[in-house]
């Protein structure tokens, strides 16, 4: 395996980080990574890979909760020099589509003095949209960064994962931040500061 | 042919090495997710001393890209020494376009002011913070202030404001008036005047704060509640410029600097230099409005 040749570790990274920052600062806002010629292994979509590229390096760690973990770990190691860690120490946790949140209760939520010392989830979904899509959850967000209420529709995300997130974020500022990505390179974020509800749309 | 571009520049783009930039970026995401909470970060060595705007510079350099249009102000002025030098540095290290025009900029770094013109959701403003810890004036030990923030134990802070009122008949804190962010953390908004403080509340813009010497960064996302600390019967007030006006434009509804001429004569001038230029040239401006500024009906503006 070799490093991605078409990925610029200075400028692409910066551009993608700005999209992440924008989505994190405005929960529910959908941003789209520009199309890139990268070939992540099965079980890791492009947007999740690019999120990993933008944030991971040798100083941090991640955990893969999905399938094909060995290939993905090799891919992230080659491209970011980051090492996989166990779920209770990892700073970033990659989740596959429809992950039910099981096993994630061990993920770090920070300490009262250092609440930022917590894990960030990078969860994959089928499709993120501003409009209703088939078999989607309509997520309504409220809190810092949102003017009134924000609405986003996601298919391929498990309600159990959102329940897990709610439970972990009850003791704000302790908690977990979530980045959701889809197959069309879209992403949106649910930081722990935001309260949310969801309903099945059909 | 494969061209080796790595060594053609003496410095990495935006000066800071990529590993450190990533670290700052990771911390920024966390800071945004916990509004008002101070996140420790690496505060790498810069070619200027800590305490001269390195915190702001770190954040600026970690987020800036080739397409950004950069503006930097110091006490509202584009022309002061600190602003000029940092502007040249950022421009030299990134090749980004720089501007004086508040409306044109995409990334604004500031020392001790928020622009008089309202910023939009396309812009990010980065503050240079000298003292990030609002509780330092009531508690000298870091481990104790950390604990106080963790437990949201802000009684001492309110007592100090009360004592100030009892002694002086007013809350004396001028610049850097402590604010409550999202109902959870007390935050120092960096020494911006009271005039600017309400503009942090429910704003369009993302506010990022960097304190290089103290190695802390924090953030206020857009549309976040930012309330100045006050009591039921003793309220927060902004500076009153009703009896003074800008000597160049006659304008009153802006933060004014007091200046003395060589003869000892006292004058006032608009602090935000770009706003002053626009007012002098009678250009259109879109100012912040908040309940404190709107109260000042007697300005008749």
Chain A interface, best mutation among B13, B23, B29, B59, by max A CB count within 10 A: B29
Query: Is the predicted pLDDT of residue B255 greater than 90, yes or no?
Result: yes
Cβ of A113 within 8 Å of Cβ of B31? The answer is no
Cβ of A55 within 8 Å of Cβ of B26? The answer is yes
Q: pLDDT value at position B173?
A: 86
For residue A22, the distance in angstroms to the closest alpha carbon of chain B comes to 8
Domains of chain B: 18-134+173-222 (3.40.50.11310)
Comparing A108-112, A159-163, B216-220, B257-261, the range with the smallest average pLDDT is B257-261
Q: pLDDT value at position B243?
A: 86
Q: pLDDT value at position B300?
A: 56
Q: pLDDT value at position B242?
A: 82
Which residues of chain A does B40 touch, with a Cβ-Cβ cutoff of 8 Å? 114
Q: pLDDT value at position B174?
A: 85
pLDDT averaged over every residue in chain B = 93
pTM of the entire predicted model: 0.95
Q: pLDDT value at position B172?
A: 85
Which residues of chain B does A57 touch, with a Cβ-Cβ cutoff of 8 Å? 18-19, 22
Q: pLDDT value at position A121?
A: 97
Q: pLDDT value at position B301?
A: 53
Q: pLDDT value at position B240?
A: 85
Comparing A78-92, A171-185, B185-199, B230-244, the range with the smallest average pLDDT is B230-244
Q: pLDDT value at position B218?
A: 98
For residue B67, the distance in angstroms to the closest alpha carbon of chain A comes to 10
B241: confidence class by pLDDT, cuts 50, 70, 90: confident
CA distances from A141 to A26, A150, A186 (A): 10, 5, 18
Which residues of chain B does A173 touch, with a Cβ-Cβ cutoff of 8 Å? 34, 37, 184-185
Helix axes A11-25, B18-33, angle to 10 degrees: 10
Model confidence pLDDT, tens digit, residues B27-41: 999 999 999 999 999
Query: Is the predicted pLDDT of residue B109 greater than 90, yes or no?
Result: yes
Query: Is the predicted pLDDT of residue B145 greater than 90, yes or no?
Result: yes
Q: pLDDT value at position B213?
A: 95
Q: pLDDT value at position B101?
A: 96
Domains of chain A: 11-125+159-193 (3.40.50.11310)
Of B138, B112, B114, the C-alpha closest to B125 is B114
Of B146, B139, B126, the C-alpha closest to B74 is B126
Q: Does B33 touch chain A (CB under 8 A)?
A: yes
Q: Is residue B149 within 8 Å of B135, Cβ to Cβ?
A: yes
Query: Is the predicted pLDDT of residue B299 greater than 80, yes or no?
Result: no
Comparing A105-114, B54-63, B236-245, the range with the smallest average pLDDT is B236-245
Model confidence pLDDT, tens digit, residues A74-110: 999 999 999 999 999 999 999 999 999 999 999 999 9
Chain B interface, best mutation among A116, A172, A189, by max B CB count within 10 A: A116
Q: Does A109 touch chain B (CB under 8 A)?
A: no
Q: What is the DSSP string of chain B?
A: -----TTTSSSBTTBS-HHHHHHHHHHHHHHHHSTTPPEE------SS-TTSSHHHHHHHHHH--TT-EEEEEETTBSSSHHHHHHHHHHHHHH--EE-S-TTT-SEEEEES---SBPP-TT-EEEEE-S---GGGGT---HHHHHHHHHTT--HHHHHHHHHHHHHHSS----TT--EEETTTEEE---S--TTTGGGGTT-SSEEEEEETTTTEEEEE-SS--EEE---SSS-------TT--BTTT---SS-EEEEE-TT--EEEEES-HHHHHHHHTT----B---HHHHH-GGG--
Of B74, B73, B70, the C-alpha closest to B94 is B70
Which residues of chain B does A20 touch, with a Cβ-Cβ cutoff of 8 Å? 29
Interface of B with A in 98-137 (CB under 8 A): 121
Report the pLDDT averaged over residues B200-228. 97
């Amino acid at each position: 395996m070799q490093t991605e040749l078409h990925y610029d570790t200075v400028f692409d990274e910066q551009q993608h980080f700005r999209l992440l920052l924008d989505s994190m600062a405005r929960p529910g806002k959908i941003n789209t990574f520009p199309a890139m010629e990268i070939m992540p292994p099965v079980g890791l979509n492009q947007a999740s890979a690019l999120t990993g590229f933008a944030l991971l390096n040798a100083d941090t760690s991640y955990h893969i909760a999905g399938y094909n973990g060995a290939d993905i770990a090799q891919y992230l190691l080659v491209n970011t020099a980051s090492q996989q860690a166990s779920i209770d120490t990892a700073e970033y946790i990659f989740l596959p589509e429809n992950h039910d949140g099981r096993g994630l209760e061990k993920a770090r939520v920070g300490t009262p003095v250092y609440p930022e010392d917590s894990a960030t989830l990078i969860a994959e979904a089928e499709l993120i949209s501003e409009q209703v899509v088939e078999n989607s959850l309509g997520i309504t967000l409220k809190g810092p960064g949102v003017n009134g209420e924000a609405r986003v529709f996601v298919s391929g995300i498990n309600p159990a994962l959102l329940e897990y997130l709610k439970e972990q974020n009850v003791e704000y500022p302790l908690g977990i931040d979530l980045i959701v990505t889809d197959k069309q390179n879209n992403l949106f974020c649910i930081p722990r500061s935001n309260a949310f509800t969801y309903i099945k749309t059909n | 042919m494969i061209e080796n571009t790595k060594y053609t520049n003496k410095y990495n783009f935006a000066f800071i090495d990529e590993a450190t930039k990533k670290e700052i970026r990771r911390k920024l995401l966390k800071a945004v997710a916990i509004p008002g909470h101070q996140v420790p970060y690496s505060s790498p060595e810069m070619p200027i001393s800590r305490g001269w705007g390195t915190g702001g510079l770190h954040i600026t350099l970690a987020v800036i890209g080739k397409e950004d249009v950069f503006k930097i102000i110091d006490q509202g002025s584009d022309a002061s020494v600190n602003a000029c030098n940092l502007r040249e540095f950022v421009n030299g290290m990134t090749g980004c376009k720089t501007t004086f025009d508040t409306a044109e900029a995409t990334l604004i770094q500031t020392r001790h002011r928020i622009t008089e013109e309202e910023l939009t959701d396309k812009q990010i403003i980065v503050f240079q913070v000298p003292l990030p810890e609002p509780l330092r004036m009531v508690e000298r030990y870091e481990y104790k202030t950390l604990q106080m923030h963790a437990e949201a134990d802000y009684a001492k802070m309110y007592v100090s404001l009360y004592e100030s009122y009892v002694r002086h008949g007013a809350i004396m804190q001028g610049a850097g008036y402590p604010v409550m962010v999202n109902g959870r953390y007390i935050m120092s908004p960096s020494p911006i005047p009271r005039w600017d403080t309400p503009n942090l509340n429910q704003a369009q813009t993302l506010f990022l704060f960097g304190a290089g010497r103290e190695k802390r960064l924090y953030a206020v996302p857009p549309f976040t509640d930012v309330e100045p600390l006050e009591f039921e019967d003793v309220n927060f007030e902004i500076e009153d410029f009703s009896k003074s006006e800008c000597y160049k434009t006659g304008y009153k509804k802006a933060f004014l600097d007091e200046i003395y001429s060589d003869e000892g004569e006292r004058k006032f001038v608009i602090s935000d230099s770009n706003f002053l230029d626009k007012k002098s040239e009678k250009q259109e401006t879109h100012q912040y409005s908040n309940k404190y500024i709107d109260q000042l009906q007697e300005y008749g503006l």
